[in-house]
Amino acid sequence: MADEKEDQNKTPKRETPSVLSDVAALAKGMQRTLGEYFSPQVTLQYPEDKSPRSERYRGRHYLRRYDNGLERCIGCELCAAACPVGCILVIAAENTDEKRVSPGERYAKTYEINMLRCIFCGYCEEACPVQAIVLGPEYELSDTSREKFVYTKEMLLEPLPPDVQARLDSKSEKK
Ligand code: SF4
Ligand code: SF4
């Protein structure tokens, strides 16, 4: 017991300063710094550079048209029924000979997606019988008001990005 107390009272021995050990420590530090400096970069200069997304990535939606310009959507509301969070609104109207919007009997007069509620599950794309609604690779969806996150039909009918078209083509080839 007495020996233990004696040991505790002893002050720890200090190593004798040596220029050689300081230089060695400095060289070791510099070796690590230079090693990191010349190693390949892992950070990306976002937003100029973006990391590649998987072929199956699901981001912003697009509504598609046929080559003749007619809208694919036939207003059947299957996508709205399949949506687990109820963020799709479809209001259908009848096509007429004077005003033909889609090849079917009906078309989507109103088509809206509330992006703030969407969980990007892709069920709407799976449910659509005519591949009218598809999810693209875009994930930069920030905006300045809640209202701007309700994507209207006009916004969704923008031309498809080339990588979405490539994904759809490979999907139909596999069928
Ligand atoms: S991706 Fe899912 S949550 Fe989003 S609109 Fe489609 S079905 Fe609804
Ligand atoms: S997007 Fe497809 S599932 Fe949805 S209403 Fe149009 S045709 Fe029907």
pLDDT per residue as tens digits for the range 105-152: 999 999 999 999 999 999 999 999 999 999 988 899 999 999 999 999
Residue 155 in any domain: the answer is yes
Residue 108 has φ and ψ, to the nearest 5°, of: -85, 105
Residue 139 in any domain: the answer is yes
pTM score: 0.76
Q: From atom 8 of ligand 1, which residue's Cα is the shortest distance away?
A: 83
Pocket-testing residue among 120, 126, 128, 138, ligand 1, by greatest number of atoms within 8 A of Cβ: 120
Counting the structural domains of the chain, the total is 1
Q: Give the 3-state secondary structure of residue 124.
A: helix
Q: What is the CATH number of the domain that holds 68?
A: 3.30.70.3270
pLDDT per residue as tens digits for the range 40-52: 888 889 989 988 8
Mean pLDDT of 71-80: 97
- Tell me what percent of the chain is helix, strand and coil, each rounded to the nearest 5: 35, 15, 50
Domain that holds residue 71: 63-170
Residue 129 in any domain: the answer is yes
Average pLDDT, the chain: 89
Integer Cα distance of 149 and 143 in angstroms: 7
Does the beta carbon of 132 sit less than 6 angstroms from any atom of ligand 2? yes
Q: Give the 3-state secondary structure of residue 136.
A: coil
pLDDT at 5: 59
